[in-house]
Each structure stands twice: as C-alpha cells, then as structure tokens.
Amino acid sequence: MQINNDYLSGLQWPGEQSPADKAAKNNKVQLEQEDFFALLTQQLAYQDPFKPADNAQMISQMSSFATAEGISNMSSQLAGLNEVMTSNQALQASSLVGQKVLVPSNIGNLSGGEPVDGIVVAGEGADNIKIRIEDKSGQLVREIALDGYQSGNVPFQWDGLNNQGEPAADGNYTFKVSALVGSQREDLNALMFARVDSVTLGGGGTPTLVNLSGLGGLPLSQVLEIAGRKAA
C-alpha cells in the first residue's frame, strides 16, 4: 500500500529534517552567514538565565565572523584582480613580437645582415669611446670609435661588417666598451637591442618571458626600452 508523503511528513517531530536535507547539510564544508546566526540564536535561547552571555563576548564572536568573511571576500577579489593583471600583461607582451627591445646584456645577435643596435652607458660623461666587438671565441671582429665627448645613454650601431669590410657570420657577438673618464681609461656598460620572436606567458609564480632572437628567454620585467620601429 502506498502511503501519502504528506502523511509521513506530518509524523516528523518539529524541526526534524528529512534524510535528503541531512545529506545536503553534511555536504557543506564551511559555515555560512545564516549558519552562524542560527548557532548564535540557539546559544542565546539555551543560555543560563542566571548567567547570561557577556555582551563583549557576543560582540567579539560577531566581529570575528565578520572579519573572517571579509578576508575570504578580499581573497576572492585579489584572485580576480590577479587574473586581470595576468591577462593585461599577456596582451602587452604579445604586442612586442617583431619589435626590438633593449635588454641588460652586452651580447648582440647578428642575423640576415640586419644592423645591430646598442647603447653605451656613459654616465656623467666620457671621451674617446671605443667599442670592441668580439666573436664567440673572443677574437676581435670590429672596433667602433665614437668621436667627441659623450654623456648619458649614447646609441650606436654595427653594420655587421668586420674590420676588412666583409660581412661577419650570423651569430652572437660580445660588445665591450672602454672610454676616458677624466684622465683614466675605464670600462663602460653596453646594453643591446634584440628582436622579440615570441612570448611565453607566465602563471603560478612563473614570469612572462620574451623570447629574443639568438639570445633565448628573458623576463618581461627586465625589458628596459622598446624600440620605436618594427624590426625588419
């Protein structure tokens, strides 16, 4: 004989939950705001009337819950903000493909007869600047002189020819700079431009990388300058 469900529901004690309701409650992994206030109401209802709960204690409990909930909400918002920043960084990095960027390295890549550009960091001033270009074995390929007194960041360009006026082989070359600073000859830093071939997107603590022609990957944060023209 089939018994009406309404009849069975009427046999339950007030406040008794059905098996489905109990299972749903057991699946909850954390207290929500309504659960907290339900517990608080029960605590007030069953407290000893001769020893009521201290007001300061009740306020402290409510404040603690509000603080925990606020931290949880803030964590969610920060996670969303991080996703937005990562997407924005990826968009910026992708726009660099095909361009030349200035990197903190004195190694330049010669490819397809395209000139190699760089910058000499002359600081407050230097004279008689000489740029020595060496191949991977350390042999001198070309020496370039910058005439006159120079200061600040001084741009230079190598046309890819050796000292005999012949095209140098494609590959990586080291640029070493020296100059007269005051009355002494000192070494100066050279920074090189490199072409961005592709971008490797970061995530989970891994930085976004710009993959430079002949030089490998470099964190996007280390790019010092973006050239104002597209690389050929």
Q: Domain for residue 133, yes or no?
A: yes
Segment 51-69 mean pLDDT: 61
Q: Domain for residue 187, yes or no?
A: yes
What percent of the chain has pLDDT above 70?
A: 58
Q: Could you give the number of structural domains in the chain? A: 1
Task: Report d(CA 58, CA 154) in Å as an integer.
Answer: 69
Query: Which of 1-15, 84-98, 214-228 has the largest mean confidence?
Result: 214-228
Q: Which residue has the higher pLDDT, 3 or 33?
A: 33
Q: Domain for residue 94, yes or no?
A: no
Q: Domain for residue 162, yes or no?
A: yes
Question: How many C-alpha atoms does 136 have within 13 Å on its Cβ side?
Answer: 7
Task: Report d(CA 118, CA 158) in Å as an integer.
Answer: 8
Q: What is the pLDDT of residue 206?
A: 82
Q: Domain for residue 115, yes or no?
A: yes
Q: What is the pLDDT of residue 175?
A: 98
Q: Domain for residue 154, yes or no?
A: yes
Backbone angles phi, psi at 134, to 5 degrees: -120, 150
Q: Domain for residue 120, yes or no?
A: yes
Per-residue pLDDT tens digits for 217-231:
999 889 999 886 544
Which amino acid, residue 20? A
Q: What is the pLDDT of residue 156?
A: 96
What CATH number corresponds to the domain at position 131? 2.60.40.4070
Q: What is the pLDDT of residue 20?
A: 55
Predicted confidence (pLDDT) at residue 147 exceeds the cutoff of 70 = yes
Q: Which residue has the higher pLDDT, 119 or 96?
A: 119
Per-residue pLDDT tens digits for 105-131:
999 999 988 999 999 999 999 999 999
Q: What is the pLDDT of residue 11?
A: 44
Q: What is the mean pLDDT of the chain?
A: 78
Q: Please name which of 20, 177, 30, 16 lies closest in space to residue 106, comparing C-alpha atoms.
A: 177
Q: What is the pLDDT of residue 230?
A: 46
Q: What is the span of the domain harbouring residue 154? A: 99-230
What percent of the chain has pLDDT above 90?
A: 46
Per-residue pLDDT tens digits for 169-181:
999 999 999 999 9
Q: What is the pLDDT of residue 24?
A: 52
Q: Domain for residue 50, yes or no?
A: no
Element (H, E) at 60: helix 55-94
